Structure 1
Amino acid sequence: MASNKFIKILVFFLLLTLYGSLLIYKIELPSGDDMARHLKNGELILRGDFRIIYSNLYTYTEPEHPFVNHNWLFAVMAHLFYLGIGWAGLVIFKTIVFLAAFCLVFAIAVRKSNFWLASVLSLPTIMILMARTILRPEMMSFLFIAISLYLLADLNEHPQSKRIFWLIPVQLIWVNMHLFFIVGIALVGGFLIEKFIKDYKNFRKNQLTKKLAFLLLALIAVSLINPNGLEGALYPVNIFNNYGINVLENYPPSYFLKSSPPLDNIPIRFFQWAAVILAVSFLINRRAMPIFYFLAAAATAMGGFMMFRLLSFFGLVFLPAASSNLKNIFIWLKNKFKKSILGDNLERISIITFIIFICYLIFLGNTGSLLNYKKLGLGLTANSNQAANFFIEQDLQGPIFNDFDSGSYLIYRLYPRWKVFVDNRPEAHSATFLSETYMSALSSEDGWQNIDAQYGFNTIFLYMYSRNGHMRSFTINRIYDPNWRLVYANSYNLILVRNNIENKKVIDEFEITPENVQIKLEGLSRSQNYDDQVAAADIYNLLGRFDLGREKLYSVAQKWPEKGKIWLVLGYLELEKNPVMATAHFERAISSGYKTPEAYASLGTSYKRIGEDEKAEEAFGTVLKIDPSYFDSK
């Protein structure tokens, strides 16, 4: 008995270690991370400046644009924690919150089935939860949803218990921390619907339904207790608004399956498989179907298929729901195994194999193999503050033109001395401003000239790897624009200043040109960090030094041959002059895991160039299998 208990503790510890290994990674402030802005929000509120709750305080372009700050309380909490434990402590706090949410749904799953079934189903659950592991207010919704599910499960077992009323203060906190507070109301409403369907004749007389009805009304009433009242309570419907700019996390998972390499899409694939498994489990268990979990699963699955940002919430429902539905099948299989020739030995072998498999996944998590592009560790990445430090130390002046991704970073480091052109919250601006002003500046030279004349920019601050399709051409245009001079570059950001007498000192000392770029980027180029060296190659190419860029990329490819994107970029560089070499690079990119429509289309093009028509058609056929509309959109 003691041995069995120890094994269960070990397995549960390994599951937590696995999930934890996917949560502990460094924060990259310049890469559009919202947390920087949340800390500034908390700082201002604690100083007694409440304007940020109602207005677009940080921008000089639309300072009067009405704004509902639905996570002000999270900002206050995060800033207080930051003062005490710093960035490293915030990463640990995030990890604790996500692990606590997992522990609660795991406990429900065990109560509804047994430890081993819950443990097995925890693996796909963790892979789904891996989709959203960022330090941001959303993590509190994970915790509050788990608390709601746990207290509702407890109420089902103990109808007389008053613990369920803890959801009222939870809702009060939730409505001021994250817009998904509406889920708390929906969960109680779904639980009430289940009670009505099961006992509609006695629905009004049932004490439990009266308790739930009161709780539902209380949660709705409490949701009005926020700085924006009814407007704040109704704010979640705005998630479907047209912001005037593409919000990547609001795209459906199908978009990422078409555009990203398979390693990036692990959570999406597990979500799809888990949705099918759960649907089948409801069919198998249809006579004793848990209506509440069916409603919750249907809602979260639908949300997950509609928006990537909603995908992980399905995992919180999947674990207890699938455990409940598959309990009898699991018991039947377990008894079958016991009656087999191996008997108890088969059970031991299965447990040992399961433990080894979890350890293997932990190894992948700790080596970063499951966390593409993330840097393991605590606190900030090494270069997170460098660009802002340069801006401050060299006393650069505004007005600043910045891209959308840089908004939060600049707010955190430069406000109140300087305001930004665009915040990185789409809801903080009008759709007209984002589509007709911001996007026009990026996509059209005439648009840029008009907006530059209107605002008189002195500094341009850009995130190098923005996923905005116009950013690359805009950056090149500015670098070759005689009115601007590139004075700073690192693995995240580029800073340009207007070519005028006021900036002459900075330009004379720091300007980066095609002639001196090798000297200016010596530190970046000689770094042993993959991202630094890739950034150096990118900047060489931006400045027209393709000789240096090609040399650096080949050097990077030798050190990190497993990075598929490097081979793809090398293929582009060689395609015109050496299509045979380009073909080899595209093949290497695909074999390294970069199996995207873009990679296969490039391979098909290179095959065409060297006369391999049959292979070209095969590559183009693969493109259409992944994304049937790929060539239509080009």
Structure 2
Amino acid sequence: MAYVKKLKPIIPFLLFFLLAFTYTFILAKPINLAVTDIGRHLVNGREVIAQNWQILYKNTYSFSMPNQPFVNHHWFSGVVFWLVYSIGGFHSLHLFHTGILLAFFGLFFVLLKKHSSWLMSFLLCLFSLIFLAGRTEIRPESFGFLLLAIVLLIIQKIRSEKQLSWKTSTILIITQLIWVNLHISFVFGMFTFALFTLIEKTITKTLNKNNQNKLIVTTILMGLVNLINPNTIQGALTPFMIFQDYGYRVYENQNLWFLRNMYQGPVIPLVFIISLIIFLIILFMEFPRNYIFEKAMAITGVFLGLNALRNTPLFVIFTFPLLAQAMYQLVKIIRKKITFEQPKLTSFLAITIPFLIIWISLGSTDVFRKTNKGFVFGLIPNQQEALNFLNKLPNNAKVFNNYDVGSLLVFSFYPDKKVFVDNRPEAFSSDFFQNLYIPMQNSDTIWQQALAKYDFNFIVFGHKDLTPWAQAFMKARLRDQAWKIIYIDETIIVFAKDIPDNQDLIKQFMVEVPLSRLRI
């Protein structure tokens, strides 16, 4: 018994160690520059440090729409990523990003404990990995998750102490100032604190008038510092305007009802089930008056989660605090009303059964299915070879590329060469996507017109692009004798136009590729 008491203080650390180990395993899979944004973010950081300010306002990476206005709402993330990358390449960047997400996860673990118990928090955090595992790439949004957890914990601190110190207020304002330059998710920090202020001022009223006024002042100042970004008011309003001219349908931005028959895995059904549970909890369970904030947050989380697949981590962050409190309350009711003959055995089963169910659920999904076993950091195999090959293309190359590989090419080409398109729909007009980019892949006539206009002499294409237009384009080029394959790996294929200027590259690198190797 004395031994158990000695262990008790370190139990939270042991539980989080298990969580952190599991999450690290999920995050430790190699980076594929051909399907992620990180290459472009790194160039953003490098160019800002070099004082190339135009990347903050224009689509300078592209030769097809170089003067298209663009609000670079994640520029500071690029600076941070570039500085870390400068220390140790992609390995140091991967480890740093893993650390950011583990820091978020640790704070989330503490946040859920404040609504339940360490054990309940552990089980819910373990369960949350099913949702978080879908967002493992190195993205600026990871900073958003960390900062949102910080804001939520600060709100808990204000509630427990029943006061807001000016020091805490300053931390919130500085957090918001940093966040508005890191990622577009800054809007959730502003929204969360403004919602808390509104509910506290009008409904719960647990703070005295002086502290309520401090909440209002802090909220106003948090709103004002959103203007301190390179694009000022336009940058502050970007979360509300980014989809106004969004001409390319991105899978992760689609709502869950639209994706219900396309997405393989448990995430979408679980979001629907938890959303229903949340509404039942709100309707039928009694909570202390100050839990109105958690209810409002949960409703917000349900809306966000159902609205877009990419929002599933936000769904977890916003809904799980109420879920934790409800489950904790339910367990207390069961313990009070039911007397167990063997309480120790019952407690053991109550812990082990949910743990096993969650662990089996994790194991039966793609969470633990990785091509490279174990903990792997850095680039996927052979990607450095691809980068080395792309550097062999002449500086006067006019490259047609598809949407997916745009970020890879920005990383490889800029500033010597520019890309045709990259994976930022907001940086290109809807007219560009709908009347040029897609039609030129579907129609040989339009392709020939674009070829005459842009004088393409190379094509770099992500051959795993399963869109109908990409498939049609790949089939056409493989039959087109005017183009020769000079490079292929697991993700990209490079064609050179059969012209005199390209003969040296064609003679040195031309390869015959069986169609079975391509997904067409």
- TM-score, normalising length from structure 2? 0.92
- Name the residue aligned to 2:296: 295
Q: Does 1:176 align with 2:155?
A: no
Q: 1:310 to 1:185 in 2, by over 3 A?
A: same
AA matched with 1:191? F
Tell me the SS of whatever aligns to 2:494.
strand
The one-letter amino acid paired with 2:189 is: G
Correspondence list, 1:103-182, <5 A: 103-162=106-165, 163-182=168-187
Shift of 1:56: 0.8
2:92 corresponds to: 89
Contact 2:242 2:426 in 1 (8 A): no
Indicate the SS of the match to 1:494: strand
Alpha-carbon spacing, 1:274–1:370, altered in 2? closer, same or farther (3 Å)? farther
1:14 aligns with 2:21: no
Contact kept? 1:397, 1:458, Cα under 8 Å: no
SS of structure 2 residue aligned to 1:226: coil
* 1:422 aligned residue: 421
In 2, Cα distance between equivalents of 1:57 and 1:394:
20
Q: Distance in 1 between matches of 2:321 and 2:442?
A: 48
- 1:50 partner amino acid: W
CA drift at 1:358: 6.5
2:362–2:368 Cα contact (<8 Å) kept? no
Q: d(CA) in 1 for partners of 2:397 and 2:503?
A: 15
Instruction: Specify whether residues 411 and 190 from structure 1 end up closer, same or farther in structure 2 by C-alpha distance, changes over 3 A only.
Output: same
Q: CA deviation at 1:111?
A: 1.9
* One-letter amino acid matched to 1:267: V
Contact 2:173-2:222 within 8 A present in 1 as well = yes
Q: Deviations over 1:549-608 (max 9, x none)?
A: xxxxxxxxxxxxxxxxxxxxxxxxxxxxxxxxxxxxxxxxxxxxxxxxxxxxxxxxxxxx
Q: State the alpha-carbon separation in 1 of the partners of residues 314 and 296 from structure 2.
A: 14
Moved more, 448-457 or 421-430: 421-430
How far, CA to CA, are the matches of 2:23 and 2:191 in structure 1?
A: 27
Q: 1:335 to 1:11 in 2, by over 3 A?
A: farther
Question: How far off its partner does 1:300 sit?
Answer: 1.9
- Aligned counterparts of 2:466 and 2:199: Cα–Cα separation in 1: 44
Q: Alpha-carbon deviations, 1:117-136, whole Å to 9, x = none?
A: 22222233222222322211
Which residue of structure 2 lines up, in the alignment, with residue 412 of structure 1? 411
Alignment TM-score, normalising by the size of structure 1: 0.76
Q: Would the aligned equivalents of 1:61 and 1:421 in 2 still touch at CA under 8 Å? A: yes
Q: In the TM superposition, what is the alpha-carbon distance from 1:425 to its structure 2 partner?
A: 0.9
Q: Aligned pair 1:2/2:3, yes or no? A: no
Letter in 2 for 1:27: I
Using the alignment, how far apart are the partners of 2:369 and 2:176 within structure 1? 33
Question: Structure 1 residue 15: deviation in Å?
Answer: 2.1
Q: How does 1:520-539 map to 2 (within 5 A)?
A: 537-539=516-518
CA offsets, 1:353-409, max 9 Å, x none?
Answer: 5566676677779xx654467875100001223333223236485111111111110
Q: Using the TM superposition, give the Cα deviation of residue 336 of structure 1 relative to its aligned residue in structure 2, in angstroms.
A: 5.3
Sequence identity (%): 28
Distance 1:318 1:124, change over 3 A: farther
CA distance in 2, matches of 1:227, 1:397: 32
State the alpha-carbon separation in 1 of the partners of residues 431 and 385 from structure 2. Answer: 33
RMSD over aligned CA atoms reads: 2.4
Deviations 1:440-481, CA, capped at 9 Å, x for gaps: 211211111111111111101100111322111101101211
Task: Please list the CA deviations of residues 294-322 of structure 1 after superposition, one character each: whole Å capped at 9, or x if unmatched.
Answer: 11111121111111112210111222221
Residues matched between the structures, number: 512
Q: Which moved more, 1:293-302 or 1:85-94?
A: 85-94
SS in 2 for 1:234: helix
Change (3 A) 1:108 1:369: closer
Specify the alignment match of 1:191 in structure 2: 196
Residues 245 and 305 (structure 1), Cα distance of their counterparts in 2 relative to 1, 3 Å cut: same
Structural mapping, 1:53-452, within 5 Å = 53-162=56-165, 163-198=168-203, 206-261=209-264, 265-286=265-286, 288=288, 290-335=291-336, 339-353=339-353, 370-371=368-369, 377-393=376-392, 395=394, 397-452=396-451
Q: Is the 8 A contact 1:106 1:122 kept in 2?
A: yes
Which whole-Å CA distance do the structure 2 matches of 1:11 and 1:287 have between them? 28
Q: 2 CA distance for matches of 1:42 and 1:330?
A: 49
Measured in 2, the distance between the counterparts of 1:411 and 1:383 equals 18
3-state DSSP of counterpart to 2:438: helix
Relative CO higher for 1 or 2, CA cutoff 8 Å, sep ≥ 6?
2
Give the AA of the match of 1:166: I
Query: Which residue type is aligned with residue 418 of structure 1?
Result: K
CA distance in 1, matches of 2:50, 2:394: 26
Shift of 1:21: 2.1
Once residues 243 and 312 of structure 2 are traced to their aligned partners in structure 1, the CA distance between those partners, rounded to angstroms, is: 16
Secondary structure at the aligned position of 1:134 is classed as: coil
Question: Cα offset for 1:38?
Answer: 0.5
CA distance in 2, matches of 1:336, 1:82: 57
Task: Find the counterpart in structure 1 of residue 32 from structure 2.
Answer: 28
| Structure 2 portions without partners, runs of 5+ | none
Measured after TM superposition, the shift of residue 184 of structure 1 is: 1.1
Distance 1:224 1:435, change over 3 A: same
> Is the alpha carbon distance of 1:373 and 1:191 closer, same or farther for their aligned partners in structure 2, counting shifts above 3 Å?
farther
- Gap runs ≥5 in structure 1: 519-535, 543-634
